[in-house]
Amino acid sequence: MFQRIFELKEEIRATLAVLGKENWPIFSNEEFENIEQLIKVLAPMETATRMMSGEKYVSASSVIIITNGLQDVYEEMLQKKLFSDKIKRVVTDMHQGIITRLSNLESSTTLLISTFLDPRFKNVGFSTKLVAERAKTLITNVLTNFIESSSSVETLSNVPIASSEENDEFSIWGSFDKKAASFEPQGTFRSRAIIEIQRYLEEPLLHRNQNPLNWWKNNCYNYPNLSKVVREKFGTVATSVPCERLFSKTGQLISERRNRLSADKVKQIIFINGNS
């Protein structure tokens, strides 16, 4: 709204002058300057809102990154002193609001794991090294439990069926089977998890504009266990935006010339539109 007013400020002034209503308020130069500054102040919020409003891409892993970015941006605005006193108060209130409402996001296990598993962020996007280490410990524990449970299932399902040849007293596999029975894999489930996570961290960061799901699809064979954990831990933040979009589509569907549509017919049309 502010952006359109500022872009059309000359047209607005001319229109108000032509209409000549004495009781209509007139924008002063100072108010237009405040509007211009407000556009800059609100731009980061607009960007964050658009990113969090998506339905068809992973957004949960971006929550911590975006929140930390907003805090940094508004701190920078306060330090540079580029705005008038009125706009400074707006920046101060917004910065304080972010701290008050969103300061404990890095205590969320779900968001920590999701952010760490995003190849665009890994352990780089957290506010402190302590938080990054906590995220690494969490995903190591999750991956260890996953490998342990997967290994037990594989052991039960991969029991070989003895052939008639193997049951012979003088089988060619006799000596090997004795060695195999006494063989124990080197390392523990946790060490396997640590090695896989370390290899993941050594990969270069994916560009932030690229799709992390495509990256995991292409690298699932390099990280067989970690990629399966990603399927469980990646997600999209639930917002009211899809509902608002649905209401908007329904409003466009039911018009003055289509006011006799039944409720069931409207549901069917909206369902097809949303799932086509």
Same domain? 269 vs 190: no
Task: Report the mean per-residue pLDDT for the chain.
Answer: 85
pLDDT of 128-157, one tens digit each?
A: 999 999 999 999 999 999 888 887 655 545
pLDDT of 226-270, one tens digit each?
A: 999 999 888 888 777 777 888 888 888 888 888 888 889 888 988
Residue 21 lies in a domain: yes
Same domain? 139 vs 59: no
Same domain? 191 vs 227: yes
pLDDT of 35-65, one tens digit each?
A: 999 999 999 999 998 888 877 788 889 999 9
Same domain? 125 vs 195: yes
In degrees, to the nearest 5, what angle opens at C-alpha 122 toward C-alphas 116 and 123?
90
d(CA 258, CA 255): 5
Same domain? 148 vs 56: no
d(CA 50, CA 241): 10
Instruction: Give the pLDDT of residue 160.
Output: 56
Q: In the predicted model, is pLDDT for residue 68 greater than 50? A: yes
Q: In the predicted model, is pLDDT for residue 161 greater than 70? A: no
Same domain? 90 vs 188: no
Same domain? 144 vs 252: no
Same domain? 247 vs 229: no
Same domain? 171 vs 225: yes
Instruction: Give the pLDDT of residue 44.
Output: 93
Instruction: Specify the number of domains making up the chain.
Output: 3
Question: Which range, of 12-16, 104-108, 127-131, 236-240, averages the lowest pLDDT?
Answer: 236-240
Same domain? 197 vs 172: yes
Residue 131: how many other CB atoms lie within 10 Å = 18
Query: Which position has the token pair 């706009």?
Result: 87
Residue 161 lies in a domain: no
Phi, psi of 239 (to 5 degrees): -130, 175
Q: Which residue has the higher pLDDT, 164 or 149?
A: 149
Give the helix/strand (H/E) hosting 217.
Answer: helix 212-219
User: For residue 163, what is the DSSP state?
Assistant: P
Query: Which position has the token pair 């049951």?
Result: 167
Instruction: Give the pLDDT of residue 185.
Output: 59
18's CB contacts (< 8 A; 6+ apart) are none
Residue-number span of the structural domain to which 26 is assigned: 2-103
Instruction: Give the pLDDT of residue 162.
Output: 54
Same domain? 117 vs 228: yes
**Domain end among 233, 250, 265:** 233
Structure tokens at 2: 């502010």
Residue 108 lies in a domain: no
Same domain? 74 vs 124: no
Structure tokens at 190: 């946790």
